[in-house]
Structure 1
Amino acid sequence: MPEGWQWDSTLFRGSAAHYTRGRLPYAPGFAGVLADALGLDGRGRLLDVGCGPGTVTLGLARYVAEAVGLDPDEDMLTEARRRAALRGVRNVRWVTGRAEDLPAGLGVFRALVFAQSFHWTERARVAATVPHMLEPGGAFVHVNELKDPPPDPTPLPLPSPPYERIADLVRRRLGPVRRAGRGTLVAGTPDREDLVLERAGFGSCERHVVPAGEVLVREADDIVAWVFSRSDSAPHLFGDGLPEFEREVREVLREAAPDRRFAERPPATEIRIWRNPRGKR
């Protein structure tokens, strides 16, 4: 867990409705790259832990017989069900629960996927449970935005979103330490999943980097949605001051770009795969 913080149910309260619009997409084709790496052939089962509104679950569902999305936030699962219905995806089951609840009677899977969610868990405990839920040859999969990519010197066609100014507004409202549910993240979110998994018996990982997509044009509403999709600026944290805070954000956006249009380079997607240490096919 992040130092000095304990999970609580308010972590993403109010964020689900903003998540899909606000968050930058994973790299195009990431699901196909992952399916090829795992040899997914339409059979078997996949568990997406901390699935949120189902972005990764729905992207991978076509490659397995059944996909299961697990998340403790009921609003996120409601949004996931809505998106699955819109897309006509019928081989997905949505389950309310935390990673620490596993195995939770969910059975055995070809892959357990953590897409930007493992750092919110009691990682050593969860990593020790995962091998018992994997079939022989199955895999623990970590999906994340590629950190520290090489700079792209190509000029953007529009201004970048003023994220630093927005962060200043958040700090002014909520204080200098990052908020997370009812608590704060004094030391930030942890990394080094490789060391956690090594201690759980996993070997070296297989790494894939999926190139980013094209530059995206983002509207002011997209950036506001991004703000409210985050745990450290979730709507509930602002209480009665939420409308005024949103007005401040929109004013900053107007000052940065009078037409309220921005350009962003979406990140590449990094996929890391650790094979089941309990045996091969």
Structure 2
Amino acid sequence: MKQDVHSTTGYTNADGIFASCGAPYVTYRRPHPSAVVDYIASQFGSATAPHILDLGCGPGTLALDLAEHGASVTAVGVSEEMLAAGRDWADVRGVRSVIWCQANATEAAALTKDTGLFDGATVADAFHWMDRPRVLAALDQAVRPGGFVAVVGYRAPGTQREWWHPLLEQLRLRWLGSVNLAGPATTYVEPAGGHEEVMRQSVFSQVSVLRADYRRTYTLDELVGLQRTYAYSSAATLGDRQSAFEEDMRETLTAARPDGVFETDLQAAVIVGRRPTNAG
């Protein structure tokens, strides 16, 4: 299933932002904490086979987990490379209940022509790339009455980042300059206002929020590989500077932590929005 992937994102090359990130994303991005996935699954209610729309799906990091929790998932993204990685990952995991769709998130309503209304929609670590009010307006046409929208973030707003984050920021400044890139040829556009604020201003204004503490541990190789999953430090963005950038990163991180073990405590957030009960 394929829709127009260019017209409504605010980025003229939206399908190229994550060029070269597909395989590294599957290898190096960590799954969402179990508390996050369980909380979203708890929103399914009594539905035995809920139909969930996962927008900005990447290679299915959340979509596959939800499918393994009994959902039928339509996974939507603009990058065919990411979707192809997701199909392969689904095969490896034996997941058969995900439909992969190249489309823009603002086209969610059009997807219902083939699928019917969705019981819920999720956006995991991708809402900041989207025209959020337009996406929520589209979801008003795509999510059934009584359904939900869940926005997931690996790090809750206002909480601490990984302790090594400033070191990597200095590396990116040295190798890529002060402009925050969104892929090889595009500048990142910082969204105005927090996700919860945007949700409350939408039709899904009845909001609940889960915050869940968790710990992550990486090896040096994993942290280096993780940088290949970000649009601002991907292989496509760095080009012929990638090897030197990664060598500099190894030296910097090894100096900070010679034993090669990188631990951090983080707090994830899930913002769930529903229509007010008197909204019908």
SS in 2 for 1:81: helix
The partner residue of 1:37 within 43, 46, 49 is: 43
Which whole-Å CA distance do the structure 1 matches of 2:166 and 2:274 have between them? Answer: 39
- Counterparts of 1:1-281 in structure 2 under 5 Å? 6-8=11-13, 9-39=15-45, 41-106=47-112, 107-144=116-153, 145-149=155-159, 162-181=164-183, 182-185=185-188, 188-212=190-214, 215-265=215-265, 267-276=266-275
Deviations 1:98-132 (A, max 9, x none): 21232233431000111121221112211111111
TM-score between both structures, scaled by the size of structure 1: 0.84
Go from structure 1 to structure 2 and tell me whether the alpha carbon gap of 1:77 and 1:130 turns closer, same or farther (over 3 Å shift): same
> Offset at 1:190?
3.7
- Match in the other structure for 1:154: none
Identity of aligned residues (%): 28
Moved more, 252-261 or 137-146: 252-261
- Match in the other structure for 2:5: none
SS in 1 for 2:62: helix
> Offset at 1:168?
1.3
> Offset at 1:222?
0.7
CA RMSD of superposed structures (Å): 2.5
> Offset at 1:193?
2.8
Which whole-Å CA distance do the structure 1 matches of 2:217 and 2:267 have between them? Answer: 17
Moved more, 217-226 or 7-16: 7-16
SS in 2 for 1:200: coil
SS in 2 for 1:217: strand
AA of the residue aligned to 1:205:
V
Deviations 1:222-251 (A, max 9, x none): 101221111211211112222222221122
Deviations 1:33-61 (A, max 9, x none): 22213415332300100011211111111
User: Please, which runs of 5 or more residues in structure 2 have no aligned partner?
Assistant: 1-9
Moved more, 72-81 or 108-117: 72-81
Go from structure 1 to structure 2 and tell me whether the alpha carbon gap of 1:257 and 1:203 turns closer, same or farther (over 3 Å shift): closer
Which whole-Å CA distance do the structure 1 matches of 2:40 and 2:85 have between them? Answer: 24
TM-score between both structures, scaled by the size of structure 2: 0.84
Q: How many residues align?
A: 265
Which whole-Å CA distance do the structure 2 matches of 1:84 and 1:234 have between them? Answer: 23
